[in-house]
Structure 1
Amino acid sequence: MVKYTTHFLKKLETLFSELDYTVRYEKGTFQSGYCIVENRKVAVVNKFFDTESRINVLLEVLGVIDYTEEKLSEKSVKLLKGIRNNSLTDENEEEPSN
């Protein structure tokens, strides 16, 4: 389960930093709440979002960007694996079993 706290948000921002991505909170007309500038590795998030929405957006961005775990610290790898495990668990719970 993802914790919607500012502490968890900081962990996600650190993870993005280790992936060489810059997270910026700015005003804009984002249909999905964020914009990714691929060539510059910048993720721009709607600055009017609350903590929960920012976390959800960063988790969504994490699912669409390409990255390798080689550069990550041990804590970030553990965080990333925890996020993946929760995502896989949620998907399995939604699918009906026959």
Structure 2
Amino acid sequence: MKFTQSNLDKLEDILSESGYTTRYERGTFQSGWCLLEQKRMVVLNKFLDTEGRINTLLELIPQLQIEFDKLTHESQKLYEEVMKKSVIETK
């Protein structure tokens, strides 16, 4: 995946279509992100560049409860790619 703003927007769309809110805030994040599960909110370190934001979302999305049926067709395809990549990296 190329590290472009367009791809970052597509990853954020997966979250928003599943009911998650994505925010970029300042804080002392050890991993670059914080997850508030009860509020379905993902908070990312606002000082990350586009590449860092994409890598963080690629790491985070497989850990979330994504509602696949609510995703648009384009988002479903990207979500499947993210999940395949996650499985390969964990092996």
What TM-score does the superposition give when structure 2 sets the normalisation length?
0.90
Which one-letter code corresponds to 1:23 in the other structure?
Answer: T
Q: Tell me what 1:52 maps to.
A: 51
Gaps of 5+ in 1: 93-98
**Secondary structure in 1 aligned to 2:2?**
coil
**Secondary structure in 1 aligned to 2:42?**
strand
Deviation at 1:89, TM superposition (A): 4.3
Q: Tell me what 2:32 maps to.
A: 33
Q: Tell me what 1:22 maps to.
A: 21
Q: Could you report, residue by residue, the CA deviation over 1:59-82 in whole angstroms, capped at 9, with x for unpaired residues?
A: 111021122311111111011112
Which one-letter code corresponds to 1:80 in the other structure?
Answer: Y
> How many residues are aligned here?
91
Q: Tell me what 1:73 maps to.
A: 72
Q: Which runs of 4+ in 1 moved over 3 A?
A: 86-92
What TM-score does the superposition give when structure 1 sets the normalisation length?
0.84
Which one-letter code corresponds to 2:3 in the other structure?
Answer: Y
Structure-1 separation of matches of 2:89 and 2:36? 29
Q: Could you report, residue by residue, the CA deviation over 1:22-62 in whole angstroms, capped at 9, with x for unpaired residues?
A: 11000001111100001000000000000000001111110
The alignment yields a C-alpha RMSD, in angstroms, of: 1.4
Larger Rg: 1
Which one-letter code corresponds to 1:65 in the other structure?
Answer: L
**Secondary structure in 1 aligned to 2:30?**
coil
Give the share of equivalent positions with the same residue, in percent.
Answer: 44
